[in-house]
Amino acid sequence: MNNINTIEFDALIIGGGGSGMRASLELAKSGLKTAVVSKVFPTRSHTVSAQGGITCAIASADPNDDWRWHMYDTVKGADFIGDQDAIEYLCSEGPKAVFELEHMGLPFSRFENGRIYQRPFGGQSKDFGKGGQASRTCAAADRTGHALLHTLYQNNVKEGANFLNEWFAVDLVKNSKDEVTGVIAFSIENGEVAYLKAQATVLATGGAGRIYASTTNALINTGDGLAMALRAGYPAQDMEMWQFHPTGIYGAGSLVTEGCRGEGGYLINKDGERFMERYAPNVKDLAGRDVVARSMVLEILEGRGCGENNDHIFLKLDHLGADVLNSKLPGICELSRTFAHVDPIYEPIPVVPTCHYMMGGTPTNISGQAYTRKNNEDHLIPGLFSVGEAACVSVHGANRLGGNSLLDLVVFGRATGKHIQKELKSGGGVTSATKDDIDASLKRLNKLNESNSGFDTADVKKELQECMQNYFGVFRRGEFMKQGLDQLKDLKEKVDNLHLTDKSDAFNTSRVEAIELQNLFDVAEATAISAYERNESRGAHARDDYPDRDDENWLCHTIFDPKSESVSKREVNFNPSKLEAFPPKARTY
Amino acid sequence: MFGNKLEISLYRYNPEEDKFPYMKKYIIDKPERDIMVLDLLNLLKEEDQSISYRRSCREGVCGSDGMNINGKNGLACITPISEVIKRNKIELRPLPGLPVIRDLVVDMTEFYSQYEKIKPFLQNETTAPEQERLQSPEDRDKLDGLYECILCACCSTSCPSFWWNPDKFVGPAALLQAYRFLVDSRDLKTQERLESLSDPFSVYRCHGIMNCVNVCPKGLNPNKAIGEIKSMLHKNKKDIIVSDGA
> In this predicted model, what pLDDT tens digit does every residue of B159-195 receive, in sequence order?
999 999 999 999 999 999 999 999 999 999 999 999 9
- d(CA B227, CA B217) in angstroms, rounded, equals 20
Pair A211, A527: CB distance under 8 Å: yes
Interface touch A154/B120, C-beta < 8 Å: yes
Q: What is the mean pLDDT of residues A73-95?
A: 98
Pair A395, A83: CB distance under 8 Å: yes
Is the minimum CB–CB distance between A504 and chain B shorter than 8 Å? yes
Q: What is the mean pLDDT of residues B100-124?
A: 98
- d(CA A90, CA A102) in angstroms, rounded, equals 18
- How many CB atoms neighbour CB B166 within 10 A? 20
Residue A2 pLDDT: 56
For residue A211, give the nearest of A201, A219, A203 by alpha carbon. Answer: A219
Tell whether the model's pLDDT for residue A366 goes beyond 70: yes
- d(CA A198, CA A213) in angstroms, rounded, equals 36
Give chain B positions within 8 Å (CB) of A501: 49-50
Is the minimum CB–CB distance between B230 and chain A shorter than 8 Å? no
Please state, for a pLDDT cut of 70, what percent of chain B lies above it. 97
Residue B215 pLDDT: 98
Give chain B positions within 8 Å (CB) of A58: 131-132
Q: Which residue of B has its CA nearest to A256?
A: B59
What is the CA angle B47-B38-A388, rounded to 5? 105
User: What single-letter DSSP state applies at residue A10?
Assistant: E
Tell whether the model's pLDDT for residue A131 goes beyond 90: yes
Tell whether the model's pLDDT for residue A78 goes beyond 50: yes
Question: How far is the first Cα of chain A from the last one, in angstroms, to the nearest whole number?
Answer: 59
Is the minimum CB–CB distance between A107 and chain B shorter than 8 Å? yes
Q: What is the mean pLDDT of residues A374-383?
A: 95
Residue B246 pLDDT: 46
Is the minimum CB–CB distance between B76 and chain A shorter than 8 Å? no
Pair B140, A110: CB distance under 8 Å: yes
> In this predicted model, what pLDDT tens digit does every residue of A290-325 receive, in sequence order?
999 999 999 999 999 999 999 999 999 999 999 999
b/e per residue, B181-204, with b = 16+ CB within 10 A?
bbbbebbebeeebbeebeeeebbb
> In this predicted model, what pLDDT tens digit does every residue of A323-339 receive, in sequence order?
999 999 999 999 999 99
Residue A1 pLDDT: 46
Among this protein's residues, is A289 annotated catalytic? yes
Interface touch A338/B121, C-beta < 8 Å: no
Q: Give the distance, in angstroms, between the CA of residue A56 and the centroid of all CA atoms in the same chain.
A: 18
Q: Which of residues 35-64 of B touch A (CB under 8 A)?
A: 45-46, 49-50, 52-64
Q: Which residue of B has its CA nearest to A503?
A: B50
Question: At residue B183, what are phi and psi to the nearest 5 degrees?
Answer: -95, 0
Q: Is the peptide bond preceding residue A176 cis, with omega within 30 degrees of 0?
A: no
Q: What is the mean pLDDT of residues A232-254?
A: 96
Q: Which of residues 156-215 of B touch A (CB under 8 A)?
A: 181, 184, 186-187
- Averaged confidence pLDDT in chain B: 95
Q: What is the mean pLDDT of residues B113-123?
A: 98
- The catalytic position among A136, A143, A231, A289 is A289
> In this predicted model, what pLDDT tens digit does every residue of B53-65 receive, in sequence order?
999 999 999 999 9
Give chain A positions within 8 Å (CB) of B181: 105
Interface touch B50/A504, C-beta < 8 Å: yes
Classified as helix, coil or strand, B18 is coil
- d(CA A199, CA A8) in angstroms, rounded, equals 9
- d(CA A36, CA B2) in angstroms, rounded, equals 50
- d(CA B56, CA A509) in angstroms, rounded, equals 12
- d(CA A167, CA A187) in angstroms, rounded, equals 4
What is the CA angle A243-A248-A252, rounded to 5? 125
Tell whether the model's pLDDT for residue A101 goes beyond 80: yes
Residue A345 pLDDT: 96
Measure B143 CA to nearest chain A CA, in Å.
8
- How many CB atoms neighbour CB A140 within 10 A? 26
Give chain A positions within 8 Å (CB) of B55: 219
Pair A506, A190: CB distance under 8 Å: yes
By Cβ distance, the residue of B59, B148, B151 closest to A254 is B59
What is the CA angle A328-A117-A105, rounded to 5? 100
Pair B181, B124: CB distance under 8 Å: no
Residue B237 pLDDT: 83
At B77, which amino acid appears?
Answer: C
Place B245 in a pLDDT band, splitting at 50, 70 and 90.
low
Is the minimum CB–CB distance between A40 and chain B shorter than 8 Å? yes
* DSSP states along A175-224: -TTS-EEEEEEEETTT--EEEEEEEEEEE-----GGGSSSBSS-TT---H
> In this predicted model, what pLDDT tens digit does every residue of A557-575 receive, in sequence order?
999 999 999 999 999 999 9
Interface touch B140/A107, C-beta < 8 Å: yes
For residue A166, give the nearest of A148, A149, A138, A185 by alpha carbon. Answer: A185
- d(CA A416, CA A385) in angstroms, rounded, equals 8
Is the sign of the CA dihedral B192, B198, B203, B207 positive or negative?
positive
By Cβ distance, the residue of A40, A99, A507 closest to B64 is A40
Place A29 in a pLDDT band, splitting at 50, 70 and 90.
very high
Q: Which residue of A has its CA nearest to B128?
A: A103
C-alpha separations of A456 from A461, A520, B28, B218 in Å:
9, 15, 20, 36
Residue B1 pLDDT: 40
* pTM across the whole model: 0.97
- d(CA A340, CA B70) in angstroms, rounded, equals 24
By Cβ distance, the residue of A115, A219, A502 closest to B49 is A502
Q: What is the mean pLDDT of residues A179-186?
A: 98
Classified as helix, coil or strand, A463 is helix
Q: Strand locations in A280-417, DSSP E?
A: 313-316, 349-358, 362-363, 369-374, 377-386, 391-392
Q: Which residue of B has its CA nearest to A337?
A: B78
> In this predicted model, what pLDDT tens digit does every residue of A492-502 receive, in sequence order?
999 999 999 99
Question: At residue A116, what are phi and psi to the nearest 5 degrees?
Answer: -65, 135
Question: At residue B19, what are phi and psi to the nearest 5 degrees?
Answer: -70, -40
Give chain A positions within 8 Å (CB) of B103: 507
Give chain B positions within 8 Å (CB) of A504: 14, 16-17, 50
Q: What is the mean pLDDT of residues A158-179?
A: 96
Long-range CB pairs of B96-100 (<8 Å, 24+ gap) are: B96/B68, B96/B157, B96/B158, B96/B163, B97/B156, B97/B157, B97/B162, B97/B163, B97/B166, B98/B153, B98/B157, B98/B166, B100/B11, B100/B13, B100/B21
Is the minimum CB–CB distance between A144 and chain B shorter than 8 Å? no
Place A429 in a pLDDT band, splitting at 50, 70 and 90.
confident
Is the minimum CB–CB distance between A548 and chain B shorter than 8 Å? no
Q: Give the distance, in angstroms, between the CA of residue A411 and the centroid of all CA atoms in the same chain.
A: 15
Long-range CB pairs of A320-327 (<8 Å, 24+ gap) are: A320/A263, A320/A264, A320/A265, A321/A345, A324/A263, A324/A264, A327/A141
Which 3-state string (H, E, C) describes A43-109? HHCHHHHCCCCEECCCCCCCCCCCHHHHHHHHHHHCCCCCCHHHHHHHHHHHHHHHHHHHHHCCCCC
Tell whether the model's pLDDT for residue B133 goes beyond 70: yes
Pair A262, A285: CB distance under 8 Å: no
Residue B239 pLDDT: 77
Q: Which of residues 402-441 of A touch B (CB under 8 A)?
A: none
Measure A498 CA to nearest chain B CA, in Å.
13
User: What single-letter DSSP state applies at residue A240?
Assistant: T
Q: Which residue of B has its CA nearest to A116?
A: B132
Strand partners, A248: A255, A352
